[in-house]
């Protein structure tokens, strides 16, 4: 599968603004703009192919179940597909035992004219959105983007890890090396910083605990 549109989104550049109707956690329909969150919250914008499909419910519910962790980090989650707001409402009103997703704690955007999917370069020739994931900071700048093929589900833990890394750099100016996680050692973006990090890297001791090796 491949996207059929050229993306307007570039990492390190401002995300294109959009406006569309959405089904909200309170059960109402509202108009949502990306600019509503600028200077207020980070945004996790994720696209999924269609309602009433297979991998999609697992992702949507997992993000909803993890909402508290994203809120701790000041992140607003926005789910988006090319389904209508009415289809979103119907899907959330069905229990999981009947193929529904139940109540969701964040807005589901109704990109029925496929404008947002086109803007973000995730619209497939089949007319669905691929699994695009975009982390946008408070300034409206895209910090990370990734696109999975339809059969490949995402990881909430990895998404949170990336948010933590983005926010760590924003706060401290330190860059985050391979497999970095919140609370672990980062590095100064200088030759000296790299040398210091590598000379003080973590190793696993025989009893399974992590120790810092000073060289």
Task: Give the model's pLDDT for residue 209.
Answer: 53
Q: What is the DSSP string of 24-40?
A: -TTS-EEEEEGGGGTTT
Enumerate the active-site residues. Answer: 56
pLDDT tens series, the chain, 215 aa: 445 566 778 999 999 999 999 999 999 999 999 999 999 999 999 999 999 999 999 999 999 999 999 999 999 999 999 999 999 999 999 999 898 999 999 999 999 999 999 999 999 999 999 999 999 999 999 999 999 999 999 999 999 999 999 999 999 999 999 999 999 999 999 999 999 999 987 432 234 554 443 33
pLDDT given at position 182: 96
Q: What are the domain boundaries of the chain?
A: 13-153
Helices (H), the chain: 55-65, 67-72, 85-92, 115-119, 156-172, 191-199
Provide the 3-class DSSP secondary structure of residue 85. helix
- Residue 185 confidence (pLDDT): 92
Architecture of domain 13-153: 3-Layer(aba) Sandwich (3.40)
Cα(81)–Cα(112) distance, rounded to whole angstroms?
Answer: 8
């Amino acid at each position: 599968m491949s996207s059929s549109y050229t993306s307007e989104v570039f990492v390190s550049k401002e995300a294109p603004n959009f406006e569309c109707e959405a089904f909200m956690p309170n059960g109402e329909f509202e108009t949502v703009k990306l600019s509503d969150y600028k200077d207020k919250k980070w945004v996790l914008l994720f696209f999924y192919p269609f309602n009433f499909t297979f991998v999609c419910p697992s992702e949507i519910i997992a993000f909803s179940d993890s909402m508290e962790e994203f809120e701790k980090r000041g992140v607003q989650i926005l789910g988006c597909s090319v389904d209508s707001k009415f289809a979103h409402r119907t899907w959330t009103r069905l229990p999981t035992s009947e193929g529904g997703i139940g109540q969701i704690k964040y807005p589901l955007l109704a990109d029925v004219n496929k404008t947002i999917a086109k803007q973000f370069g995730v619209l497939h020739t089949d007319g669905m959105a691929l699994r695009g994931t975009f982390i946008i900071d408070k300034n409206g700048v895209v910090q990370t983007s990734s696109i999975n093929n339809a059969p490949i589900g995402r990881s909430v833990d990895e998404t949170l890890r990336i948010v933590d890394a983005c926010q760590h750099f924003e706060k401290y100016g330190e860059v985050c090396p391979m497999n970095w996680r919140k609370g672990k050692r980062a590095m100064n973006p200088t030759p000296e910083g790299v040398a210091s990090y590598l000379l003080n890297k973590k190793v696993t001791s025989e009893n399974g605990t992590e120790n810092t090796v000073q060289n």
